[in-house]
Structure 1
Amino acid sequence: MFKEFKAFINRGNVMDLAVAVIIGAAFGKIVTSLTDDIIMPMIGKIFGGLDFSGYFLTLGPIPADYKGSLASYADLKKAGVPLLGYGEFVTQVVNFVIVAFIIFLLLRAVNKAMASVAADKAREEAATPAPDSAEVVLLREIRDELQKRSGAA
């Protein structure tokens, strides 16, 4: 069983997938930072200090022993208060749009590169004449032989 597992892990596709997952996780952190630390603050600045992550609706009672801020989404959530965090949702939607757009750009570049390679290959194949068939070669030999005989006569 260990040998089968080792053979499975050593396959190229599994290793490629592992690398992709690790890079994807790191890329997700970069996009989250880009959204949280750069894009959302700029949007907030444009819209007069708007901070999406702090927008929420309280859906249930706040515990009597709660001592945190009533305006802190994180503190209320930690205290178990039922909340509708639509600001956090907007932040996650922006994250998704950024990731989807970057993936779109990457796939577009890869598709263009692959199309370019395919076009180059097609040009090479078109430039190289196809070898003559056996029938054409035989007919040429017959023609040449007949020309020799008629020239010798």
Structure 2
Amino acid sequence: MLKGFKAFIMRGNVVDLAVAFVMGAAFVAVVTSLVTDLLTPLIAAIFGKQDFSALTFTVNHSTFRYGAFINALIAFVLIAAALYFFVVAPLNHLAERKRRKAGLPPAEEPLTEVELLTEMRDLLRTPPPRV
């Protein structure tokens, strides 16, 4: 039983997943700091307000705090933009550069679900070759 557990833990994908989880947790701190300490003050410099959480309206004695939603929405958009422009785009550029250096053709766009299903349907329609 212990031997099986050791084999499970030492498999590459479990260790890789653990490393990725720890790296992801550390990366959250970096992205949060980028958004909180750099991008949000930039938004405040442009719009004159850094925190919208005090924005509310009242209907029938119920208070709607739409400012907190605006804060969350701005944080989401800024985090998504930071991830795209500082991680995804540079890594895609590096991958494409590697492909060109290796003499490989540019990566093709993946097929859509409809295209894949159509291709599968067509393959299933064709009779198997006779041997």
TM-score normalised to the size of structure 2?
Answer: 0.60
Take 1:53 and 1:35, find their aligned partners in 2: how far apart are those partners?
A: 15
Take 2:39 and 2:103, find their aligned partners in 1: how far apart are those partners?
A: 40
Take 2:90 and 2:54, find their aligned partners in 1: how far apart are those partners?
A: 33
- Pairs aligned (count): 101
1:52-102 deviation digits (Å, cap 9, x = unpaired): 45354366868xxxxxxxxxxxxxxxxxx8643222221122112211332
The one-letter amino acid of 1:90's match is I
Verify the 8 A CA contact 2:35 2:75 in the aligned structure 1. yes
Q: What are the equivalent positions in structure 2 for 1:109-124 lying under 5 Å apart?
A: 109-119=93-103
Take 2:14 and 2:58, find their aligned partners in 1: how far apart are those partners?
A: 45
Structure 2 CA distance for partners of 1:21 and 1:110, relative to 1, 3 Å: farther
Structure 2 CA distance for partners of 1:31 and 1:53, relative to 1, 3 Å: farther
**Is 1:105 the counterpart of 2:104 in the alignment?**
no
Take 2:57 and 2:6, find their aligned partners in 1: how far apart are those partners?
A: 52
- How far did 1:6 drift? 1.7
What is the root-mean-square deviation of aligned Cα atoms in Å? 2.9
Gaps of 5+ in 1: 63-80, 121-153
TM-score normalised to the size of structure 1?
Answer: 0.53
In structure 1, the partner of 2:124 is: none
Specify which structure has the bigger relative contact order, considering alpha-carbon pairs within 8 angstroms and separated by 6 or more residues.
1
**Other structure's SS at 1:119 match:** coil
Bigger Rg, which one: 1
Gaps of 5+ in 2: 105-131
In structure 2, the partner of 1:43 is: 43
**Is 1:26 the counterpart of 2:26 in the alignment?**
yes
Percent identity over the alignment is: 34
